[in-house]
Every structure is written in C-alpha cells, then in structure tokens.
Chain A
Amino acid sequence: MAHPLQAFFGKIKLFSSLSGDELNDLLRAIRPVQYSAGERLFTEGDPGDAAYVIESGELEVFLEKSGEIIQLTTLGPGAILGEIALLDAKPRTASARAIGDLKLFRIDKTEFDFLRRNLRPSAYKVIRGISMTVCERLRETNGMIRSVLDESGESKGIATPKELPSEAPQGGILGRLPFWRGK
C-alpha cells in the first residue's frame, strides 16, 4: 500500500528503505511547516526537539559570534536538518533560518521517541540511517585529525585563522566544522 508522500520520501536516502506501511507509521511524528524569508527555525543552544526535511525552498545554517554571522552551509529540497537531535536531546550546535519561502516536514522528537520505545521498524530504519551519517562524519573528522598528527617529526597545529579554507571543512556534527575567519 503506497502512501501519497512515498514518492517524495522515497527519494531521500534516510527514508528510502521504508515500506508504505512503515512510512505511514512514521507520519504520526511528521507535520508540514512553513517559514518565510529570514524566519528562524531554531537558534544555537535551543533544545533539539525535531528534525526537518526540506520540501521546497532553501535555508542557511549559521553561527553568530560577536554579532557576526558565519554561514556554514545552505540546504535545499530533499535535504535533512537536525537529524542528530532524534538520537539525543542535546542543544542545537548551530542556528538555522529560511532564505526565501521555505516548506518543510518537521519530525517531532517526542513522537519519534514513542515509535522508538515501541521498537517500531520504521523508527529503527531511520536510526540506522542516522547512525550511518554519524559514522561518515566521524570518519571525515578522523581524516582531518590524522592529517594533524601525521607530521614528519614537526608539530603542526590545526589550521590557524589565516589558513582557513573559504568553506568550512568537512566533519563534526553538522558535516561542517565550525571554523571561522578571524580570531
């Protein structure tokens, strides 16, 4: 039995292994939400209470340091944001806001945890997928650390401010480490 949203969710890697019934199951935790340009989804330090899947539009993930906005990445349709919050309840590590008009599906953590406590396959397929993402990030970060430790008898620090790439390097929770320009 195919669900109407299966065409959309089926294209997203995290949900692609869910059957119609399992997606139905998961949908009790999912609600459509909308934001207009500049509206914030959440701010760094907020409790991690949901994950988001972008249906249309774009958002930016950023940090604010002494009034300066440091953009880490932008995300568009099909992208997932904040999925790590579904695994633990720690505060958000960055802020997110809509760039233009934004439509998303919001996966509520409390509802998701209900499915998880009941050992639903739908929840655990998603948990497995998120775990795979976490492993990828751990490996990327590992690669970065290795390049610091791999010195030929000479100590090197992690990139000092003037060596920073123009885009934040891969790794860390967000897939982008929060390095920033300047001090």
Chain B
Amino acid sequence: MKAETSQLSPLPLFEGLTPREFEILRNHVNLVTFGKDEVLFREGDAAASCYVLVSGRIGVYLGKVKGDEEELAQLTAGAMVGHMALVDNKRRSATCRSLTADTILVELRRDDFERLFWAQTPFTYKILENLAVDLVGRLRATNERLVKAQQSTNPSTPTAGRKHAKAAARQLLGYRSDHNFKLGDIDPDDVQVVDLGLGQRMRDTKK
C-alpha cells in the first residue's frame, strides 16, 4: 500500500523534506497494517526495516514471550521503532506489538535506505540528520540516567537501582510514556526525564 504525502509529512523522521521529496519518498516506503496483538518484531530478530507509526498504538517490551516481558512504553502517532536498523545491521533490541485493531505504520527498509544514501539522494541525508540527532539525544539521556542510577544505588536500596535501570532502558530505546502508560513502579520523576529528552530532540530538529 502506497503512503500519501499527508501521512508522511507529520512524521518527525521526515522533518525538513520538501513536497517534491515526499513525492519521491512515497515510492520508497510501504504502508503496513497490523491487527490487535500482532507482533511487528521480536527482541533478537534480524532487523531489516524502520517503522514510523501513522495511527493506532504499539507497545514496546523487553523479552520475547508474552507474559514474560517488561513493558517499556506505549507509543502513538509519529513515534518510530526499529530505526537503528537504518544505520547498523544488528538484531532488534526490543519486542514490538500492535495494541489496536488497525495500526498503520510506514515501513522504510534498510536496503532501500542504503541504496538511496550511496546514490547521494539529498532527502536521505535529511532523514539521516533527524535519525542522528535522535540517537545522540538518547545516548546522552541514558548516560545521565545511568550515572544517576549508580550514584543513588547502595546495597540497602537495590530497588532504586532497578527503577533507574528500567527508566534508562526506556530512555535508551527512546520511548516516552503517554498519558495512558501504566506507571507501575516508575515515579513521575522518571517520566519527566524521559519527556525532557524527547522534548529536547524535537526542539533540536526544528533548528
């Protein structure tokens, strides 16, 4: 299914592309749909593409088996998953599942992105720019979070370290919580840090 420019243009991964570039991009991405509880990919799978959410809701988990997994986040329109696949050739860091009946995503395959990049297609550079800024933002935020975790951990409160590690895992993979995210043992302080990380990234890409 071919994506419309109107579906692609609000997505942060494609920020900065001109209308003409969107017309070309449409030929290099697929629109894919998933039903409720369908798995997009599992942790450890080979990674061949990046997905950007157009509509619906997806869940991100550590662990491969339903029931034996740790929820990191629920994502809504504009969020991207699996985008490290555009840059390296490693395995999926998390499991991703559709939570709604008609979840629609844009799929950009790694091999297509590579081909466009080595052909020096300018809009590929713009996509890479958005991707690079996002990745560095995550690394910095995670770095800070882990330093904080190390500072706050002592043998008598191991749960503090675990809580920070879980928040760092979320941050690492770039997932903020939305208003429906069940907080569990994450406190508002963690959520705020994740929000700040995401907010900073979006401000930076607006130049």
Contact = CB atoms under 8 A, between A and B. Distances in A.
A138 interface: yes
A135 B135 contact: yes
Contacts of A149: 62, 70, 162, 165-166, 169
Given A149-B62, A172-B146, A87 B136 contact: yes
Interface string A126-159: 0110111011111101101110110100011111
B140 interface: yes
Given A87-B136, A124-B125, A145 B150 contact: no
B8 to A, nearest CB: 20
Interface string A52-66: 000000000000000
Contacts of B84: 135, 138-139
* Of listed A127, A135, A179, residue having the most chain B CB within 10 A: A135
Interface in A109-135: 116, 119, 121, 124, 127-128, 130-132, 134-135
Chain B contact residues: helix, strand, loop or mixed: helix
A127 B132 contact: yes
A41 interface: no
Given A88-B204, A178-B147, A141 B133 contact: no
Contacts of B146: 141, 144-145, 158, 171-172, 177
A138 B155 contact: no
Interface in A39-84: 84
A36 interface: no
Contact of B135 (A124, A134, A144, A171): A134
Interface residues of B, number: 46
A123 B153 CA distance: 41
A90 interface: yes
Interface of A: 84, 87-88, 90, 93, 116, 119, 121, 124, 127-128, 130-132, 134-139, 141-142, 144-146, 148-149, 151, 155-160, 171-173, 177-179
29 contacts: A119-B126, A124-B117, A124-B128, A127-B125, A128-B117, A131-B131, A135-B90, A137-B139, A138-B93, A138-B142, A139-B84, A142-B93, A142-B172, A142-B173, A144-B146, A149-B62, A149-B162, A149-B166, A155-B159, A157-B155, A157-B158, A158-B149, A158-B153, A159-B150, A160-B154, A172-B142, A172-B146, A177-B147, A179-B150
